[in-house]
Amino acid sequence: MAGVRAVGILSRFATSKYSRLSGHGHRSLSMSSSLLARTYANYEIKDGVAVIRINDPNSKVNTLSKPLQAEMTEILEEIWGNSAVKGAVLISSKPGSFIAGADLNMIQACKSAEEVTTLSQEGQKMFDKIEKSPIPIVAAINGSCLGGGLEFAIACQYRLATKSKKTVLGTPEVMLGLLPGAGGTQRLPKMLGIPAAFDMMLTGRNIRPDKAKKMGLVHQLVDPLGPGLKSPEEATIQYLETVAIEAAKNLANKKLSVKKEKGLVQKLQDMVMGLPFVRKQIYNMVTKKVMGQTKGLYPAPLKIIECVQTGIEKGTTAGSLAESVNFGNLAMTSESLALRGLYHGQVACKKNNFGSPARDVKNLAVLGAGLMGAGIAQVTVDKSVRTILKDTTVEGLTRGQQQVYKGLNDKTKKKAITSFQRDTTMSFLTGQLDYRGFDQADMVIEAVFEDLNVKHKVIKEVEAVIPPHCIFATNTSALPIKEIAAASKRPEKVIGMHYFSPVDKMQLLEIITTDKTSKDTTASAVAVGLKQGKIIIVVGDGPGFYTTRCLAAMLAEAVRVLQEGVGPKKLDALTKGLGFPVGGAALADEVGIDVAAHVAEDLGKALGSRFGGGNVEVLKTMVQKGYKGRKSGKGCYVYEKKSKDKKVNPGVEEILKAYQLKPAPSVSGDEDVQYRLLSRFVNESVLCLQEGILPDPVQGDIGAVFGLGFPPCLGGPFRFVDSFGADKLVQKMHRYEEVYGNQFSPCQLLLDHAKDSNKRFHK
């Protein structure tokens, strides 16, 4: 179960921060000339207030597209030309979405940076007009208000937001390698102060309504309503509209003022920020921090700082120009392309392509209350699915239940849920040592010890007590599913579900089907995974499936690099320099040296010398000496509580000396070491596609980034081959092949791509 257990920490990127910036749905550019029947936005005048309602007919969310902007401009001109209109309200008719962002396809369609810059400037112009509107415009926000949607809202004179769970505000552009390109970098610092604006734009984090009010991002909050004379969603939108109209009227007749008395702290902060050298300090500090975190691999954050700085120091005109030009340039970078690709991939991997399962999984059982088992139980009860957590010992069970409780309690402490919700969620969990209640189970997920005999024993025990329709899912990181299924009486109901640890943080779920697994079983497993909030890739069966196999290839190279005298610290610096969130040595410690040894040996046996490189004995010796990684306190590093600075384990240095290899100078420069690590990973990925383990490059990229922490700025192994050039990669690999042999032999598919530069994994 533990193969890639701790890879979790790899994937800082993989939090769902940017999941809502929406950009799907192709839009026709043909515009209706009729003023009355607009497609994307309409308005009516209520009591002297123009209520503008946005509703994209082709999508679940509203996006800031060209046709919407065109209609909006028309409407605004009409309203401004109508002296009877004293104020306006901007509201969405969709329950879960105000405006979820700019239409990404609009950017995708652009051929040059200049074109994108023009797009940005059009947006800036429109929002400038709104900011200077002669009548007050109130943005009434319910649902996602992100990216371009937020920039629209902050150009308005007043903002109201519902406290609905679906209401989030934010500028997630940075997660897509972009910047807020429609005035955001200019308005936010003035509105929130420089530090808060930086925090918001550089992290791209979602801001909940309460926080938004506190920050000054919105002026007033409105509670969502329950059922009344209409459904809660309709009632809430109508209530929001009523309150917004009232606010617009009050703003128009000066009963309500936007200017707020500044508190002492605010005044003090403004005074300090008035000092040029303080501001300079801040720019420097923020730049340093960004460089530390991104290693300079991501250009967008630096450009955001630049735009803010230009706007503040040289005025808004210069700032806006910098914003639009940088926006255009960023849109053309390979980083932005990679991140946008991941965004689309992630959306694609949140769908069930296997249809709806014949039965809903209402009762789930998890075998083994270890880290993985308890984690799986946690994400399941979190969605109100009744879950049995079974272990063989009271100690194991107690630890597992405590883990679930702690996971939920941490959420309570962060105020994401109330203590009451925590308790109700906990009530869905039953911990037990026997098979009671398994006759009601719709799915059993086993997360027991990674040993074929144990798994066979378990599958037989379980099949004796579960009902015929129940699915048996096995959470393994390397054992082939068909070997596990060999012990089953009903192999069509057996499937692999490879979770990543920590389960509640890691978004990826790798589902593995054998040739006997039925389509309904797969559909059901995907449905459960989606319910658990996972991004899902569905891959074929084989040793190490997809993710473990790629990682094992890279780790084998990492061990060789260590044997060649590159210290663990240097190795980590090199891998992080590529954009991996965790270095190779630290990663091995997190995964567990014993697990790594186990996987390396198994895969080596199954897949042959291609998985050679480092000597497995290095890992085995480490395990013998008790250096099992972080969990045992010692691995490549020594782990002490409280000590921030990790020290290299001297015992490991000795072992490495004993297994020392002589580096080949021609391929041992820093860059070559990096490409040796990367190319083995990438080659293995491409081979998985070639062999049919992977159904398509999209899932390959998503799996590598969200499961293994493959550098997001590269967009995944396939995106990397496309942007780096298969021919260049093959050239490098041939050089390494000469020294090390077949571990670096490029696979056929990679060679095909190298030969024909028109061949690309992503169109």
Partner 1 sequence: RFVFRMFVMTKTKKTLAKPNVKNIVLVDGVRTPFLLSGTSYSDLMPHDLGRGALQGLLNRTGVPKEIVDHIIYGIVIQEVKTSNVAREAALGAGFSDKTPAHTVTMACISSNQAMTSAVGLIAAGQCDVVVAGGVEFMSDVPIRHSRKMRKTMLSLNKAKTLGQRLSLLGSIRMGHLMPELPAVAEFSTAESMGHSADRLAAAFGVTRVEQDEYALRSHRLAKKAQDEGLLSDIISFQVPGKNIISADNGIRPTSMEQMGKLKPAFVKPHGTVTAANSSFLTDGASAVLIMSEEKALALGYKPKAYLRDFVYVSQDPKDQLLLGPTYATPKVLEKSGLTMEDIDVFEFHEAFAGQIVANLKAMDSDWFAQNCMGRKSKVGVPPMEKFNTWGGSLSLGHPFAATGCRLVTTVAHRLQKEGGQYGVVAACAAGGQVFLTCRLLIHAVYAVTAIRLSSACL
Kindly tell me which of 157 and 403 has the beta carbon lying closer to partner 1.
157
Kindly tell me which of 232 and 533 has the beta carbon lying closer to partner 1.
232
Kindly tell me which of 223 and 654 has the beta carbon lying closer to partner 1.
223
Minimum Å distance from CB 16 to partner 1?
25
> In the set 26, 60, 214, 230, which binds partner 1 (CB under 8 A)?
230
222 lies in the site for partner 1, by CB under 8 A = yes
> In the set 220, 294, 430, 440, which binds partner 1 (CB under 8 A)?
220
From the list 127-135, 220-228, 405-413, 555-563, the region that binds partner 1 by CB under 8 A is 220-228
Q: Which residues pair with 64 in a beta bridge?
A: 102
Minimum Å distance from CB 47 to partner 1?
14
> In the set 223, 395, 410, 670, which binds partner 1 (CB under 8 A)?
223
Q: How far is CA 401 from the centre of its chain?
A: 27
Minimum Å distance from CB 384 to partner 1?
15
165 lies in the site for partner 1, by CB under 8 A = no
Minimum Å distance from CB 209 to partner 1?
14
The answer to whether the CB of 507 falls within 8 A of the CB of 16 is yes
The answer to whether the CB of 490 falls within 8 A of the CB of 469 is no
Cβ-Cβ contacts under 8 Å for 733 (sequence gap 6 or more): 679, 683, 744, 745, 746
659 CB neighbour count, 10 Å cutoff: 15
Among residues 381, 500, 467, 501, the alpha carbon closest in space to that of 431 is found at: 381
Dihedral class, residue 722 (left if φ above 0, else alpha if ψ from -120 to 50, else beta): alpha
266 lies in the site for partner 1, by CB under 8 A = no
Kindly tell me which of 114 and 223 has the beta carbon lying closer to partner 1.
223
Minimum Å distance from CB 720 to partner 1?
48
Kindly tell me which of 257 and 643 has the beta carbon lying closer to partner 1.
257
Among residues 513, 553, 497, 509, the alpha carbon closest in space to that of 533 is found at: 509
Kindly tell me which of 236 and 621 has the beta carbon lying closer to partner 1.
236
428 lies in the site for partner 1, by CB under 8 A = no
Rounded to a whole number of angstroms, the CA Rg of the chain reads 28
Total residues contacting partner 1 by CB under 8 A comes to: 19
Distances (CA, A) of 50 to 81, 159, 222, 409, 725: 12, 16, 20, 46, 54
Minimum Å distance from CB 228 to partner 1?
3
| Spatial distance between the Cα atoms of 40 and 57, rounded to a whole number of angstroms | 7
Long-range contacts of 307-311 (CB under 8 A, 24+ apart): 307/179, 307/185, 307/186, 308/185, 308/186, 308/189, 308/194, 308/197, 308/198, 308/201, 309/283, 311/185, 311/186, 311/189
692 lies in the site for partner 1, by CB under 8 A = no
Kindly tell me which of 418 and 666 has the beta carbon lying closer to partner 1.
418
The answer to whether the CB of 547 falls within 8 A of the CB of 707 is yes
Kindly tell me which of 223 and 410 has the beta carbon lying closer to partner 1.
223
Report phi then psi at 739, rounded to 5. -85, -45
| Spatial distance between the Cα atoms of 750 and 748, rounded to a whole number of angstroms | 5
214 lies in the site for partner 1, by CB under 8 A = no
> In the set 58, 231, 266, 393, which binds partner 1 (CB under 8 A)?
231
Q: Which residues pair with 43 in a beta bridge?
A: 52
Report phi then psi at 536, rounded to 5. -120, 130
Q: Which residues are catalytic?
A: 510
Q: Which of residues 232-251 bind partner 1 (CB under 8 A)?
A: 232, 235, 239, 243, 246-247
Report phi then psi at 36, rounded to 5. -80, -40
Kindly tell me which of 410 and 423 has the beta carbon lying closer to partner 1.
423
Kindly tell me which of 69 and 162 has the beta carbon lying closer to partner 1.
162
The answer to whether the CB of 249 falls within 8 A of the CB of 86 is yes
Minimum Å distance from CB 165 to partner 1?
12
| Spatial distance between the Cα atoms of 709 and 581, rounded to a whole number of angstroms | 6
Residues, the chain, total? 763
Minimum Å distance from CB 142 to partner 1?
14
Minimum Å distance from CB 143 to partner 1?
18
Q: Which of residues 367-426 bind partner 1 (CB under 8 A)?
A: 418, 420
Q: Which residues pair with 53 in a beta bridge?
A: 42, 91
- Looking up tokens 């209401």 gives 167
Kindly tell me which of 49 and 555 has the beta carbon lying closer to partner 1.
49
Task: Supply 344's token pair.
Answer: 């689309």
> In the set 227, 296, 608, 626, which binds partner 1 (CB under 8 A)?
227
Burial class (CB in 10 A: 0-12, 13-18, 19+), 136: buried
Task: Decide: helix, strand or coil at residue 83.
Answer: coil
Minimum Å distance from CB 586 to partner 1?
39
The secondary structure of 272-336 as a DSSP string is: HHTSHHHHHHHHHHHHHHHHHHHTT--HHHHHHHHHHHHHHHH-HHHHHHHHHHHHHHHHTSHHH
Q: How far is CA 251 from the centre of its chain?
A: 40
Distances (CA, A) of 404 to 306, 417, 419, 426, 428: 44, 14, 14, 8, 11
287 lies in the site for partner 1, by CB under 8 A = no
| Spatial distance between the Cα atoms of 763 and 344, rounded to a whole number of angstroms | 13
756 lies in the site for partner 1, by CB under 8 A = no
Kindly tell me which of 246 and 483 has the beta carbon lying closer to partner 1.
246
Among residues 64, 73, 72, 69, the alpha carbon closest in space to that of 103 is found at: 64
From the list 175-183, 231-239, 444-452, 687-695, the region that binds partner 1 by CB under 8 A is 231-239
229 lies in the site for partner 1, by CB under 8 A = yes
Q: Which residues pair with 158 in a beta bridge?
A: 138
Kindly tell me which of 80 and 239 has the beta carbon lying closer to partner 1.
239
Minimum Å distance from CB 140 to partner 1?
12
- What does the binding site for partner 1 look like in residue numbers (CB under 8 A)? 220, 222-232, 235, 239, 243, 246-247, 418, 420
